[in-house]
Chain A
């Protein structure tokens, strides 16, 4: 009997169980057996952590009742890397070791035809490496920021967008009641789709994206034109990865040995580095307050946006991605990524998504729509 494995290789997005459900149901239709791996590859690499075993057999009877519930059946593995697994050696020293061989050996020994990985953009690189080492994989794209190249819609984005729109409506109401400008940070480190699309949905005053460096003076100017001089209220949506226009700071000459040894320590203060969630909203809120005669208030959606029940779009997308992944395995098309390119659900070579991000082009239709709605993009 053909056996396949399925696991969640990446962070959390709402409704991951629906992908598992879709795959298990399609596999059952073919008479295949499905094994679920706990927490990325941890179920295989650290079976001792799981009292009932690191893997679990999955049948439609198991997964059906859980399909649309929030929470997830298998556990996720954000930032996991089977090539660098943190381990405690016998001599009490901690180190990172390459354990990819064990995964390959396990797949051969257990007669696994292919591993279906529900992967975020970070995990795709690792899967590509595993694929080249000989593990047969089939990836399903999941991303709360919809930043995976080669697919128009990654799983999870629609649910996160729904929630974000809901919160933005509330944030605007709260801002109106208090006569303030609400500044809401939403997920989106590389791609600003969530910020842009949610800002359009609620008709926000501004949306700041990782793709367009913003100038706060421009944003302030735009807001002051739109808002009454006092007690006006507004709503600004800020993507986590948005950055201000480069400042003119140039690094001074550093001590040569020091800079050659530890460049991170001596680099210019203005380097673009991710400084933790909530920071972008804070920077923007404070900067606007300094420039305007209005009070601002920062809010960070953070991880809450990534949990909860799936939207109806994600429910059917998840079922379809899961089922189509099984079909692709049946057709021998491993080494691919499932991609939704409307109206087709197909698979593309994994290379097409590794080292790429699906980002917003400055002249695309969404950007033009936003501008015509009077949404300032910071430029």
Chain B
């Protein structure tokens, strides 16, 4: 279940890369920037800006078996009752301008690579390649492994972005085909991790440690999405450093400042964004936290902006 393929990303691994987003995730971080990647099945997305309206079109209205599409005066664009919608997708083909569409498609390894290879001249030059992201790409271990193996075979550098909240068997299948593993250290305290992300971090940390030890050839890059008032404190940064520094194959630790990337997409999916009052972290705070990381690594660490599907 592939969600999206994004070309020319420069932040999800070395060089110029193509990022493939896989659908489905085992966490529910309240700040999630890719809400359309959370659920494992295709989902309806509605973009009202494209809707022609009930009077001139309205083709979708009789199509919905759940009575989930409706229209109220006075703006004649239709609306979706998300409580009633079951993502059956029957309305999608009825919509001429594509206001109704599906997030998520079934693609084969070959189809994905054909798309990715359009970019190959660029990453041959820059040492880039393919990055699997999500969602949680290790939730589809067989597909991810096959895709990465074939990509590597064709001379691409392979990277994944993962939260590691998956069974160890999945990790064992995927990581042998990975050059660079970008992984999250969201919150150190298990109970707080559970509150903000839906599950605690015990299995995540077990997997991380085991992965560092089992796959010495993989370059691991630790990351923290900095959320104000949640994990933007020194104690967390130091705890992560203490966790990763004993492992020489963890080559970097990046901070991803929270920029409310995903917020607008919540509307398309009828979800509620709970962090509306949060502000991005200040430059001063970032500089201070980065200095701590620089010190631990003995060199400068860059701030990156995460790319979006």
Chain A interface residues toward B at CB < 8 A = 78-79, 81, 83, 86, 88, 91-96, 122, 125-126, 128-129, 190, 211-213, 251, 255, 257-265, 267-268, 270-277, 354-357, 359, 361-362
Contacts and interface: CB of A to CB of B under 8 A. Distances in A.
A199 B84 CA distance: 35
Contacts of A259: 98
Interface in B181-215: 194, 197-200, 202-203
Interface of A, secondary structure class, is loop
B74 A211 contact: yes
Interface stretch (B154-162, B242-250, B269-277): B269-277
Interface stretch (B2-10, B122-130, B282-290): B2-10
Nearest to A87: B198
Nearest to A302: B277
A19 B199 CA distance: 36
B72 A356 contact: yes
Contact of B165 (A93, A128, A211, A359): A93
A147 B28 CA distance: 31
Pairs of residues from A and B, 4 with the lowest C-beta to C-beta distance, nearest first: A273-B267, A125-B83, A355-B70, A93-B26
Interface in B78-95: 81, 83-84
A273 B49 CA distance: 9
Contacts of B65: none
Contacts of A88: 194, 198-199
B49 A275 contact: no
A272 B115 CA distance: 31
B108 interface: no
B265 interface: yes
A263 B74 contact: no
Contacts of A212: 74
B273 A276 contact: yes
B83 A267 contact: no
Contacts of B104: 261
B143 interface: no
A95 B41 CA distance: 12
B165 A81 contact: no
Given A125-B81, A355-B81, A94 B264 contact: no
A359 B267 contact: no
B94 to A, nearest CB: 16
A263 B45 CA distance: 7
Contacts of B2: 261
Given A263-B47, A265-B308, A274-B267, A93 B199 contact: yes
